[in-house]
Amino acid sequence: MKLFARLRSWFRWIVKPQQLENEMETEVRFHIESYTADLVCKGVPQPEAMRRARIEFGGIESHKDAMRASLGLRWWGELCADIRYGVRMLRRSPGFTTVAVASLALGIGANTAVFTLAKAALLDTLSVSNPESLRLLAWTQDDKSVVSSMWGDFYPDGKGHTLVASFSYPVYQQLRSQNHELGDLFAFKELGGGLDRLTATIDNQSETVTGELVSGNYFAGFGVGTVLGRPIEPADDLAAGGGPVAVISDAFWARRFGRSSAVIGKAVKLNLVPITIVGVAPKGFTGASHVEVSPDVFLPLTMQPIIAPKGDSSLLNDPEIWWVQVMGRLQSGISEKSARASLAVTLDQAVRATMTVPKDGTLPPLTLIPGNRGWLSYDDRQLQQPSLILLALTSLVLLLACANIANLLLARSASRQREMSVRLALGAGKARILRQMLTESLLLSLLGGTAGLMLGYLGRNAIPRLLSASWGATPIRSQFGWPIFAFALTISVLSGLLFGVGPAWQATRSIVNAGLKDSAVTTTHHGKGFAGKTLVIFQVSLCMLLLVGAGLFVRTLVNLNTADMGFQQNGLLLFAINPPKVRYPAPKNIEVLHQIEETIAPLPGLESVTLSESPLLAQTASNDGFFPDGQPRRPGHEQSAMLNSVGQTFFATMRIPLLYGRSFDFRDTSTSPKVAIINQALARKEFAGISPVGKTFKTEEEDRYEIIGVSADAKYADLRGDPPPTFYVLYRQQKDARHGMTFEVRTNGDPGGVVGSIRSAVQSVDKDLPLIDVRTQTEQIKASIAPERIFAAVTAGFGVLALILASIGVYGIMAFTVGRRVNEIGIRMALGAPASQVLKMILRETAWLAAIGIGTGVGVALLLAQFLRSMLFGLKPTDPSTLAGAALLLFAIAMLAGWGPANRASLIQPMEALRHE
Amino acid sequence: MGKQIDLLQGTLDMLILKAVSLGPLHGYGVLLRIQQISGEQLEIQQGSLYPALYRLEHQGLIASEWGESDNKRKAKFYSLTAAGRRQLHSETEKWNRMAVLIASILRTTSEEV
């Protein structure tokens, strides 16, 4: 209550300072005049009465000051004065202010942009009620696990096993109905990965959308409703195909329906199945899998057999294929341990009830993992190291900027020594001067922070854009909200303090007497030059660190870009086609793909057309068993190879040379004997010393192939590493093309120019088949090395920035040193030292600074570079040529920066210098 | 005019509250009333009254209003607020307890120890 009264009174006078002055004046005048009048009444003569009244009242101004202090206005007034003074000081040296604000803006802007990314990658949680209590059910798979068939993402658990979060639908139902301590279990399945996307036909227009199959209690379990219509309810999820309804995401609603409320009840087709839209999910809700992007549509899980069929039978009754993710909430008062234990028992029972367990088979051991980031975003742990490295690098840049400003401030405080001495002599307290200096620093850092925030805002999408494939959705959505502002404000204030405290402390140590004499000799004591030089050495070593980092990442990118891929990437256009199962059950899907291949091939502008199950360098690959006939099966010997199912002209179109034997040709049809081509790596591994052509082998499913040729090695899924042992088979000789196929089209000119004619050609085959992920092979490769490109671009930028900041630092300190030694240099020259000797003397000092800084930087870089090992390609973290290159560059730039002051020193006229104080 | 007593540290606020509690007063009036009820025995430096008045108003113990003085001049009148009345009450009690205590200590003779 009292505090409130104070705040109200404080605020009242803050906004009306003039009224306060008037009122005080009136009140004091009234007092003095009344007293004078009383004295006159007592018989004192008027002039004498007035004099006495004034004397007895005391110093009017000092009382007024005390009155202002009583209202708590004093520190405010002082702050205003400090800020006004600070602004004036900054405006008086625009060069300094510009450099300081610009370097801070770059430092803070870079930090803000990286923090935005790191926050999204590491900190954000699902926007549902109480995400911290969510637990995702998972288990670790070993060799003897009874579960062998899975559909979904799984991750290495770091201990040599695989972490899986998929369950069979019968097991989920058993888990849900049995007793356990983890609340009601709800289930979901993402349909967004790769070609699992759905084809949506809305108003006779088809496009691909992402989806999530969800159990009937999913929305209730998350505590999430809809902004329009109703959520998916248990009644929608009772029987296979029984709930042809969908809830759409806010983004999809805006993108496709312009936020029209008429969307409720609208009939659309998903994978050619009629579906009614019943609700719109709230903005910010991203489903259970990601924290960043929402699936476009949510459908009942029981729609799986109809909308996203896998094979012939429904997964709802299939105990063998494990594919749904299950989440529950930890109830208050129940420990995670006991919840896990009770659920593990239930899981064992459920597995035994639904599957036959062989004698030595292991049951899936249950673990609970935090569900607050969803399952797919769980894998963002991978982003942890790159994010932390980027954060570390950006904070080095900011540190460098701070060191730079501290250095400039130190030099300035030398020139402001007289001002400080005057203030101290006039009775200003040290605390008051410290506060004044810090106010100026904070003013500077807040200016820099504001500019940095703007830079960060402009650049907020730069990194996510670099990360995302140009043809796909941005995986990470940068949200520019309060946490970002708070972060920018915090680092601005921290850096203001960091670079401000030293120089401010220095300022209070001014010696009044010496300062007032204003002599160059007495005002600069040894300590200041030393502090400045230490700072510059620090700057040079930071710069060295950043340069080494930039060198390593840029060379990694160069190595990746120039790596021999084994095929010709230029002029290739890629797109995928995924014939929906409803219309094209196997093997009809293969027929329609072949029909499309034949339709496209004669189009003008096309050199050749082929297709493959996995596009190259897209981080997808298949593998299968590889058992050459006539060779005994060797236990312990890895008898599998990578596999790609391709079109007849694959090798010609991709320009992969054939070394022995023949390529696929017209003789190889869907009914002819099965043939395969193996690459050199596989030939070397399985057929050392003998010709593989004409040999036969079997795959896991006992299909027998004859090897007709050996191709040169080509990279498959990943640019890193050697091409894996691979065999290629003809897609037309396969039973199914489960996930659709990717077409590779070699064009004569611009690959983009033929998209239109291809699209209409495909639509002439079936108007409901969209081209998916249209891109060039070059774009595909660029996307596969997106993190490396980001690191190279960002660190190279930081390197340049660091060079600029360090050269400003070197220039500043050398100019300061020369200025301080004008007298000495003058004497030297008067005594006969030639200009070249002076030049050398100053340059030698620069060289020492640079050398010490570079040496320290190299030492630290050698220690820290180990953390980068896993992110480099084709070079070691201690790559000598990178280190030497960075050191030479930095040394050259430092010497260049020191040249100006040195040159000025050599031009000093002895007479002028000696007269100079 | 008898011998004047210097004001004890921190008692000025209490005296102002007391003076104002008897009816709204302007600053000069507060001074006069304190002098009057103390029998002209208290020495208050006139100017230092105002910082104290402003502090009390800032704390919400007194409120002010512009009005007209006896000689038809514009003057600022101070009056006690509810919070001020409570404060005066508790200060008075504290003061009285203290006074009794100090007096009893000072009355102590050697036999009583």
Is a pLDDT exceeding 50 seen at residue A522?
no
Is a pLDDT exceeding 80 seen at residue A684?
yes
Q: Are residues A556 and A638 in the same domain?
A: no
Query: Regarding predicted confidence, which is higher, A482 or A232?
Result: A232
Query: Regarding predicted confidence, which is higher, A678 or A65?
Result: A678
* Weakest-pLDDT range from A48-52, A255-259, A274-278, A719-723: A719-723
Interchain CB contact of A63 with B (< 8 Å):
yes
In a mutational test of the A interface, the residue from B28, B34, B65 whose CB has the highest number of chain A CBs within 10 Å is B28
Domain boundary (A341, A372, A403) is at A372
Is a pLDDT exceeding 80 seen at residue A888?
yes
pLDDT attached to residue A195: 58
Share of chain B above pLDDT 90, in %: 18
pLDDT attached to residue A20: 85
In a mutational test of the B interface, the residue from A31, A42, A75 whose CB has the highest number of chain B CBs within 10 Å is A31
pLDDT attached to residue A574: 93
- Phi/psi zone of residue B4: left (φ > 0), alpha (ψ -120 to 50 degrees), beta? beta
Helix (H, G, I), strand (E, B) or coil at A694: coil
Interchain CB contact of A37 with B (< 8 Å):
yes
Is a pLDDT exceeding 60 seen at residue A891?
yes
Handedness of CA A471, A473, A475, A476 (dihedral sign): positive
Q: Are residues A357 and A216 in the same domain?
A: yes
Of B27, B47, B59, the CB nearest to A58: B47
pLDDT attached to residue A696: 93
Q: Are residues A438 and A533 in the same domain?
A: yes
Interchain CB contact of A6 with B (< 8 Å):
yes
* Contacts of the segment A867-871: beta carbons below 8 A, 24+ positions apart: A867/A385, A867/A389, A868/A389, A868/A549, A868/A552, A868/A553, A870/A385, A871/A385, A871/A386, A871/A389, A871/A553, A871/A556, A871/A787, A871/A788, A871/A791
pLDDT attached to residue A601: 92
Residue A152: pLDDT band (50, 70, 90) is confident
Binary contact (A69, B74; C-beta < 8 A): no
pLDDT attached to residue B7: 63
* Contacts of the segment A148-157: beta carbons below 8 A, 24+ positions apart: A148/A320, A149/A320, A149/A321, A149/A322, A150/A321, A150/A322, A150/A323, A151/A310, A151/A315, A151/A321, A151/A322, A151/A323, A152/A189, A152/A190, A152/A322, A152/A323, A152/A325, A153/A193, A153/A375, A153/A376, A153/A379, A155/A378, A155/A379
**Nearest chain A residue (CA) to B70:** A34
Distance from CA of B98 to the nearest CA of A (A): 26
pLDDT attached to residue A768: 81
Contacts of B81 (CB under 8 A, 6+ apart): B60, B61, B62, B63
Closest by CA to A327, choosing from A463, A165, A517, is A165
Closest by CA to A296, choosing from A321, A268, A320, A261, is A268
pLDDT attached to residue A42: 87
Binary contact (A58, B54; C-beta < 8 A): no
Binary contact (A9, B58; C-beta < 8 A): yes
Distance from CA of A84 to the nearest CA of B (A): 27
Mean pLDDT of B2-7: 57
Is a pLDDT exceeding 70 seen at residue A584?
yes
Contacts of residue A61 in chain B, CB cutoff 8 Å? Answer: none
Question: What's A44-96 look like in SS3?
Answer: CCHHHHHHHHHHHHCCHHHHHHHHHHHCCCHHHHHHHHHHHHHHHHHHHCHHH
Q: Are residues A587 and A610 in the same domain?
A: yes
Q: How far apart are CA A441 and CA A507, in angstroms?
A: 13
CB A89 within 8 A of CB A440: yes
Closest by CA to A294, choosing from A222, A350, A370, is A222
Is a pLDDT exceeding 80 seen at residue A746?
yes
Domain that residue B91 falls in = 5-112
* Weakest-pLDDT range from A119-133, A718-732, A766-780: A119-133
Contacts of A339 (CB under 8 A, 6+ apart): A135, A180, A181, A182, A330, A331, A368
Q: Are residues A585 and A691 in the same domain?
A: yes
CB A895 within 8 A of CB A846: yes
pLDDT attached to residue A471: 59
pLDDT attached to residue B9: 61
Residue A103: inside a domain, yes or no?
A: no
Q: How far apart are CA A579 and CA A304, in angstroms?
A: 17
Helix (H, G, I), strand (E, B) or coil at A629: coil
Q: How far apart are CA A775 and CA A759, in angstroms?
A: 13
Share of chain A above pLDDT 90, in %: 27
Distance from CA of B95 to the nearest CA of A (A): 22
Residue A675: pLDDT band (50, 70, 90) is very high
Q: How far apart are CA A217 and CA A327, in angstroms?
A: 11
Binary contact (A30, B71; C-beta < 8 A): no
Distance from CA of A78 to the nearest CA of B (A): 18
Interchain CB contact of A10 with B (< 8 Å):
yes
Contacts across the A-B interface (CB distance below 8 Å): 79
Q: How far apart are CA A554 and CA A785, in angstroms?
A: 12
Question: What's A515-566 look like in SS3?
Answer: HHHCCHHHHCCHHHHHHHHHHHHHHHHHHHHHHHHHHHHHHHHHHHHHCCCC
In a mutational test of the B interface, the residue from A30, A33, A35, A76 whose CB has the highest number of chain B CBs within 10 Å is A30
Is a pLDDT exceeding 70 seen at residue A307?
yes
Of B48, B57, B71, the CB nearest to A63: B48
Of B47, B54, B55, the CB nearest to A59: B47
* Weakest-pLDDT range from A93-102, A342-351, A453-462, A464-473: A464-473
Mean pLDDT of A742-746: 94
CB A520 within 8 A of CB A916: yes
Residue A467: pLDDT band (50, 70, 90) is low
Residue carrying the six token digits 């869907």:
A670
- The values of phi and psi at residue B106, to 5°, are -70, -25
Is a pLDDT exceeding 80 seen at residue A150?
no
Of A1, A31, A70, the CB nearest to B58: A70
CA distances from B35 to A894, B6, B40, B50 (A): 78, 12, 5, 16
Contacts of residue A1 in chain B, CB cutoff 8 Å? Answer: 60, 83
Is a pLDDT exceeding 80 seen at residue A643?
yes
pLDDT attached to residue B72: 82
Handedness of CA A461, A467, A473, A474 (dihedral sign): negative
pLDDT attached to residue A563: 87
Interchain CB contact of A582 with B (< 8 Å):
no
Distance from CA of B7 to the nearest CA of A (A): 16
**What is the CATH classification number for the domain harbouring B63?**
1.10.10.10
Domain boundary (A737, A768, A799) is at A768
Interchain CB contact of A74 with B (< 8 Å):
no
Is a pLDDT exceeding 60 seen at residue A418?
yes
In a mutational test of the A interface, the residue from B25, B30, B40, B50 whose CB has the highest number of chain A CBs within 10 Å is B50
pLDDT attached to residue A525: 47
pLDDT attached to residue A378: 62
pLDDT attached to residue B2: 44
**Nearest chain B residue (CA) to A65:** B51
Of B45, B55, B73, the CB nearest to A70: B55
Mean pLDDT of A833-846: 89
Q: Are residues A152 and A48 in the same domain?
A: no
Binary contact (B47, A69; C-beta < 8 A): no
pLDDT attached to residue A526: 47
Binary contact (A23, B76; C-beta < 8 A): yes
Contacts of residue B57 in chain A, CB cutoff 8 Å? Answer: 9
Angle at A170 between CA A179 and CA A340, to 5 degrees: 40
Is a pLDDT exceeding 80 seen at residue A629?
yes
Q: Are residues A56 and A144 in the same domain?
A: no
Mean pLDDT of A602-625: 88
Binary contact (A5, B83; C-beta < 8 A): yes
* Weakest-pLDDT range from A99-108, A516-525, A627-636, A671-680: A516-525
Tally of domains in chain B: 1
Interchain CB contact of A59 with B (< 8 Å):
yes
Query: Regarding predicted confidence, which is higher, A706 or A287?
Result: A706
Residue A492: pLDDT band (50, 70, 90) is confident
Interface of B with A (CB under 8 A): 26-28, 31, 45-48, 50-52, 54-55, 57-60, 69, 71, 73-76, 83
Is a pLDDT exceeding 80 seen at residue A468?
no
Residue A826: inside a domain, yes or no?
A: yes
Query: Regarding predicted confidence, which is higher, A790 or A270?
Result: A270
pLDDT attached to residue A673: 93
Domain boundary (A318, A342, A372) is at A372
Q: Are strands A640-646 and A696-698 parallel, antiparallel or unpaired?
A: unpaired
Binary contact (A5, B52; C-beta < 8 A): no
Identity of the amino acid at A13: W
Mean pLDDT of A547-567: 91
pLDDT attached to residue A602: 92
Of A10, A56, A70, the CB nearest to B51: A70
Which of A352-356, A514-518, A600-604 is the most confident on average? Answer: A600-604
Which of A213-227, A498-512, A789-803 is the most confident on average? Answer: A213-227
Q: Are residues A507 and A606 in the same domain?
A: no
Residue A644: pLDDT band (50, 70, 90) is very high
Binary contact (B50, A67; C-beta < 8 A): yes
Is a pLDDT exceeding 90 seen at residue A890?
yes
Q: Are residues A368 and A391 in the same domain?
A: no
Interchain CB contact of A21 with B (< 8 Å):
no
pLDDT attached to residue A112: 86
Mean pLDDT of A408-428: 79
Tens of pLDDT, residues A698-731: 987 778 999 999 999 999 988 888 898 999 999 9
In a mutational test of the A interface, the residue from B13, B32, B35, B46 whose CB has the highest number of chain A CBs within 10 Å is B46
Q: Which residues pair with A558 in a beta bridge?
A: none
Query: Regarding predicted confidence, which is higher, A678 or A718?
Result: A678
Domain that residue A479 falls in = 383-562+786-915
Mean pLDDT of A155-160: 66
User: What ipTM was predicted for this assembly?
Assistant: 0.87
First CA to last CA distance, chain A: 63
pLDDT attached to residue A566: 92
Residue A519: inside a domain, yes or no?
A: yes
**Nearest chain A residue (CA) to B32:** A35
Tally of domains in chain A: 4
Of A5, A34, A62, the CB nearest to B59: A5
Contacts of residue B46 in chain A, CB cutoff 8 Å? Answer: 31, 35, 56-58
Q: Could you please report the per-residue DSSP string of A247-305?
A: EE-HHHHHHHHTT-GGGTT-EEEETTEEEEEEEEPPTT--TTT-SS---SEEEEGGGHH
Interchain CB contact of A7 with B (< 8 Å):
no
pTM equals: 0.71
Is a pLDDT exceeding 60 seen at residue A750?
yes
Q: Are residues A474 and A610 in the same domain?
A: no
Closest by CA to A772, choosing from A25, A78, A21, A208, is A208
Closest by CA to A848, choosing from A902, A884, A904, A905, is A902
* Weakest-pLDDT range from A107-121, A176-190, A631-645, A650-664: A631-645
pLDDT attached to residue A600: 93
In a mutational test of the B interface, the residue from A8, A19, A27 whose CB has the highest number of chain B CBs within 10 Å is A27
Mean pLDDT computed over every residue of chain A: 85
